[in-house]
Amino acid sequence: MIDLKDFEYSELEAYLISIGEKKFRAAQIYKWLHMGVTSYDEMTDISKSLRLKLSENTYVSTLEIEQKFVSQLDGTVKYLFRLPDGNCIESVVMRYHHGLTICISSQIGCRMGCRFCASTIGGLYRSLTAGEILNQVIFAEKDMGERISNIVIMGIGEPLDNYDNVIKFLHNVNHEKGKNIGYRHITLSTCGVVPGIYKLADEGMPITLTISLHAPNDEIRSSVMPINHKYRINELIKACKYYVDVTGRRLSFEYSLIHGVNDSIKNADELAALVKQLHAHVNLIPVNKVEERSFVKGTKDEINAFRDRLIARGVNATIRRELGSDISASCGQLRKKAVGIKDTVNGE
Ligand code: SAH
């Protein structure tokens, strides 16, 4: 059975023609799918016979809200969605002055193995389909009853490790007959899959790219992020330059401050030298506590001192405001509890 949300618009048109239907039906069906209907019966301007015909080989995919948490502090909403195959994924909706932003997952689990991250404990189960990625936006928006205007692909998974489905999702969520979310309102975060960055640059899709850097040199980076054994920092920076040159988009770096690992003033100086070549913004994230990991954050003064040092070195740096801290809004933790994932890295 085919999930019609795995088709791009032109593929949906082609499919309809292949079953003897008129091309213009695609506009109607696409609109309904993206509005979040859960069955063909809700497509009221489609004839009963076409609905029947569609249901022979295709289906309308859905996401069940397994759990929902609303932050009392800032209105952040965290969803634990259940997929039809029983797996769980997490999405978070955050409220900013400019509207709602959703943070979505791209895979079930992750095989990148970053030492501080909850999503990678238990490894990769499977990648999400394009329709499953899109459904997070569709069903969160439907539940919120308010337009979601921005997307960050920063939830569970490594988006560039699920390249084709993520690109398909981006085309669909941007489509004027669907959610029509502008590429400039979409951010993709990667741990640094270098070939994927080059490919993405050539897609002609002006999304914002953010790199999870987390270390100012190869020694530290390799010790916390296995991907660095494959692609060294200088290769990563080269790919970033290419992305900026080709797309004309700015780029930013995520840097989780881990006490005693990457948060010394010397580290700040190294980091400044690295990112200044790109005029990039640095987002500092005091590392979130993950049960199975021993990493901790420094004091407020230490965190501020790190930021101030970057600024003194001419780098645009900010400390990420923590949203939804009362509902453990950072990703990976809920799914882990829901499906009882054990730590395979530390053998606990
Ligand atoms: N795989 C992608 C996107 C998902 S992770 C990537 O690596 O960018 C989203 C961000 O949260 C990444 O920057 C990731 O490194 C960071 N992160 C993961 N665990 C964290 C933790 N315990 N504390 C702070 N940031 C964390």
Instruction: Name the active-site residue from 88, 117, 191, 331.
Output: 331
Q: Specify whether the CB–CB gap between 130 and 172 falls below 8 A.
A: yes
189 Cα nearest atom in ligand 1 = 8
Q: What is the mean pLDDT of residues 287-297?
A: 86
pLDDT in tens, 176-214: 999 999 999 999 999 999 999 999 999 999 999 999 999
Q: Is residue 257 very low, low, confident or very high in pLDDT (cuts 50, 70, 90)?
A: very high
285 Cα nearest atom in ligand 1 = 24
Q: What is the mean pLDDT of residues 57-69?
A: 96
Q: Does the annotation mark 90 as catalytic?
A: yes
Compute the mean pLDDT over every residue in the chain, rounded to the nearest whole number: 93
Does the pLDDT at position 348 exceed 50?
A: no
Supply the pLDDT for residue 324: 78
- d(CA 299, ligand 1 centre) in Å: 20
Residue with CA at minimum distance from ligand 1 atom 9: 154
- Ligand 1 touching residue 228 (CB < 6 A): no
Does the pLDDT at position 345 exceed 60?
A: no
- Ligand 1 touching residue 120 (CB < 6 A): no
- Ligand 1 touching residue 258 (CB < 6 A): no
Q: Give which of 240, 243, 346 is closest to 291, Cα–Cα.
A: 346
pLDDT in tens, 127-138: 999 999 999 999
Sort strands 99-103 and 64-70 into parallel, antiparallel or unpaired: unpaired
Does the pLDDT at position 346 exceed 60?
A: no
Euclidean distance between CA atoms 263 and 266, whole angstroms = 8
Does the pLDDT at position 45 exceed 80?
A: yes
Supply the pLDDT for residue 290: 83
Query: What residue spans of 92-180 are helical by DSSP H?
Result: 130-144, 163-174
Class of residue 45 by CB neighbours under 10 A (exposed 0-12, middle 13-18, buried 19+)? exposed
Q: What share of the chain is helix, strand, coil (3-state, %, to 5)?
A: 40, 20, 40
Residue with CA at minimum distance from ligand 1 atom 24: 287
Q: pLDDT exceeding 70 applies to what percent of the chain?
A: 94
- Ligand 1 touching residue 124 (CB < 6 A): no
161 Cα nearest atom in ligand 1 = 1
Q: Is residue 322 very low, low, confident or very high in pLDDT (cuts 50, 70, 90)?
A: confident
pLDDT in tens, 102-126: 999 999 999 999 999 999 999 999 9
pLDDT in tens, 5-30: 999 999 999 999 999 999 999 999 99
Supply the pLDDT for residue 250: 87
Does the pLDDT at position 342 exceed 60?
A: no
- Ligand 1 touching residue 161 (CB < 6 A): no
- Ligand 1 touching residue 262 (CB < 6 A): no
Q: Is residue 293 very low, low, confident or very high in pLDDT (cuts 50, 70, 90)?
A: confident
Euclidean distance between CA atoms 107 and 119, whole angstroms = 10
Q: Specify whether the CB–CB gap between 237 and 231 falls below 8 A.
A: no
Supply the pLDDT for residue 338: 64
225 Cα nearest atom in ligand 1 = 15
Q: DSSP character for 159?
A: G
Does the pLDDT at position 347 exceed 60?
A: no
Instruction: Name the active-site residue from 90, 132, 141, 254.
Output: 90
- d(CA 117, ligand 1 centre) in Å: 6
Does the pLDDT at position 336 exceed 90?
A: no
- Ligand 1 touching residue 152 (CB < 6 A): no
